Amino acid sequence: MRISKRFTGPPLSSDPSDIPLTNLSKILNLKPGGMAAVMGAGGKATLTKRLVIEYVEEGTPVLVTRTTNLRSLENWTDPALLLSEADREKASDAARKWAARGAIVWVENKLPENIFLRIPVKQVEPLHTMGAESVLIVKTDGARKRLIKAPAKKEPVIPCGVTHCLLVLGLNAIGQRASPDIVFRFETSCQIAGFEEGQSIEACHLATLAGHPESYPARLPAKASRILYLSHANSPDRLRLAREVCSAVPEGIFNICVAGDSIKGLFHIIREEK
């Protein structure tokens, strides 16, 4: 099934999204007390880091954890406090007393090959309730550094109490030949998006992965704000492709569609539903 329905709003050529914004947390309206579930492929870690940077700079405490196993954190920079299973009590205290300019990354015991064990999903909501003045960011599925994906049957692992769901897909997949090196959950993604191995990935394929009823939409909590985030929007051509993707996603699935360059901190609101 390929999604072809077009957004019936104003012509995209007149969209003010050409002017980049610089504060993603404000675009998402993700405020202290909120919990964001980040899922998808092609930029989850970079998106998370950008949000951490914004909150730390404004003095908002932020905790990052995940409900799936976590690979190396070598690209994280201070301020960060890495807590393990042995420090559960310490984590509880930290959640109550986060420093105004602090960020905490909470993971479980370290496994071989520099992988950290996931946090059980039932333990995430208590962390959320501890930090009423903080923001909690939870990475809820994996993609092994691929650019796009469809979820497995048991993905994403979303905790109770989530206020925002961010689905990430990489615009840099468009124009590349579909292969397991580019696409995670390859067979499932092919079936849902409608491409075959070796076929050029198009904007409509990303739109289908985002909006297909057998993909992420049916798995997102009804009361959460739903965001489609198209990463690697680092050129006018990529911004044009982002508009193509968003215009092909049916209305009513996402509250807002954003294209961004998480590294530079430049973001474009492509589409917003009231």
pLDDT digits (tens, 9 = 90+) for 84-133: 555 656 655 655 554 444 566 666 666 666 667 777 888 787 777 766 77
Residue 100 lies in a domain: no
Q: How far is CA 245 from CA 17, 80, 166, in A?
A: 14, 35, 16
Which residues have C-beta within 8 Å of that of residue 274, sequence separation ≥ 6? Answer: none
Q: Is residue 130 part of a domain?
A: no
The owner of tokens 């990489």 is 170
Tell me how far the alpha carbon of residue 47 is from its chain's centroid: 7
Give per-residue pLDDT as tens, 23-36: 999 999 999 999 99
Strand bridging mode 266-272 / 256-261: antiparallel
Domain that holds residue 240: 21-67+135-272
Residue 59 maps to a domain: yes
Domain count within the chain: 1
Query: For the whole model, what pTM was predicted?
Result: 0.86
Residue 127 within any structural domain of the chain: no
Structural domain includes residue 210: yes
DSSP sequence for 132-196: TTSEEEEE----TT-SEE---TT---PPTT--EEEEEEEGGGTTSBP-TTTEESHHHHHHHHT--
**What is the token pair recorded at 238?**
């990529």
Alpha helix stretches (DSSP H) within the chain: 24-28, 44-58, 88-96, 124-130, 186-193, 203-211, 236-247
The SS3 call for residue 65 is strand
Relative to beta strand 62-66, strand 135-139 is parallel
Q: Could you tell me if residue 125 is inside a domain?
A: no
Is there a contact between 137 and 195 (Cβ–Cβ < 8 Å)?
no
The per-residue pLDDT string of the chain (274 residues; one tens digit each, 9 = 90 and over) reads 444 333 334 344 456 667 899 999 999 999 999 999 999 999 998 998 899 889 888 888 888 888 887 665 555 555 455 555 556 566 556 555 544 445 666 666 666 666 677 778 887 877 777 667 788 999 999 898 999 999 999 999 999 999 999 999 999 999 999 999 999 999 999 999 999 999 999 999 999 999 999 999 999 999 999 999 999 999 999 999 999 999 999 999 999 999 999 999 999 999 998 7
91 located within any domain: no
In a domain, 73, yes or no: no
Residues 68 and 149: their CA atoms lie apart, in Å, by: 16
Q: For residues 79 and 103, is the Cβ–Cβ distance under 8 A?
A: yes
CA dist 96 and 209 (Å) reads 38
Using an 8 Å Cβ cutoff, are 136 and 25 in contact? Answer: no
Q: What is the amino acid identity at position 140? A: T
